[in-house]
Amino acid sequence: MRRKLVAGNWKMNMTAPEAEAAIESCVDLVSLKDNVDVILCPPFLTIPKVRELTKACPIGLGAQDVFWMPKGAFTGQISAPMLLASGCSYCIVGHSETRGRFGKLEVPAETLCYFGETDHTVHLKIGALVAHGIHPILCVGETQVERDAQMTDAVITTQLEIALTGHDPEELDELVVAYEPVWAIGTGNVCDTAEAERVCGMIRSILEDLVGQELAEKLRVLYGGSVKASNAKELFSQPNIDGGLVGGASLDPKEFAAVIAAA
Ligand code: PEP
Q: Where residue 40 sits, what CATH number does that domain have? A: 3.20.20.70
Q: How confident is the model at residue 193 (pLDDT cuts 50, 70, 90)?
A: very high
Indicate whether 51 pLDDT > 70: yes
CA angle 158, 175, 227 (to 5 degrees): 80
Atom of ligand 1 nearest to the CA of 97: 2
Strands (E), 49-130: 59-63, 90-93
Structure confidence at residue 25 (pLDDT): 67
Q: Report the predicted TM-score, pTM, of the whole model to 2 decimal places.
A: 0.97
Angle between helices 152-164 and 119-131 (to 10 degrees): 40
Percent of the chain scoring above 70 in pLDDT: 98
Q: How confident is the model at residue 24 (pLDDT cuts 50, 70, 90)?
A: confident
Structure confidence at residue 187 (pLDDT): 93
Rounded to whole angstroms, the Cα distance separating 149 from 70 reads 39
- Is the Cβ atom of 7 under 6 angstroms away from ligand 1? no
Domain carrying residue 111: 4-262
- Is the Cβ atom of 37 under 6 angstroms away from ligand 1? no
What is the phi/psi pair of residue 207, to 5°?
-60, -35
Q: Total structural domains in the chain?
A: 1
- Is the Cβ atom of 245 under 6 angstroms away from ligand 1? yes
Between residues 164 and 113, which one has the greater pLDDT?
A: 164
- Is the Cβ atom of 247 under 6 angstroms away from ligand 1? yes
In the predicted model, what is the mean pLDDT of residues 74-82?
Answer: 98
Indicate whether 153 pLDDT > 70: yes
Atom of ligand 1 nearest to the CA of 246: 8
19: exposed, middle or buried (C-beta count within 10 Å: 0-12, 13-18, 19+)? buried
Structure confidence at residue 21 (pLDDT): 82
In the predicted model, what is the mean pLDDT of residues 228-246?
Answer: 98
- Span from the CA of 72 to the centroid of ligand 1 (angstroms): 32
Structure confidence at residue 56 (pLDDT): 84
180 is known as an active-site residue: yes
Indicate whether 247 pLDDT > 70: yes
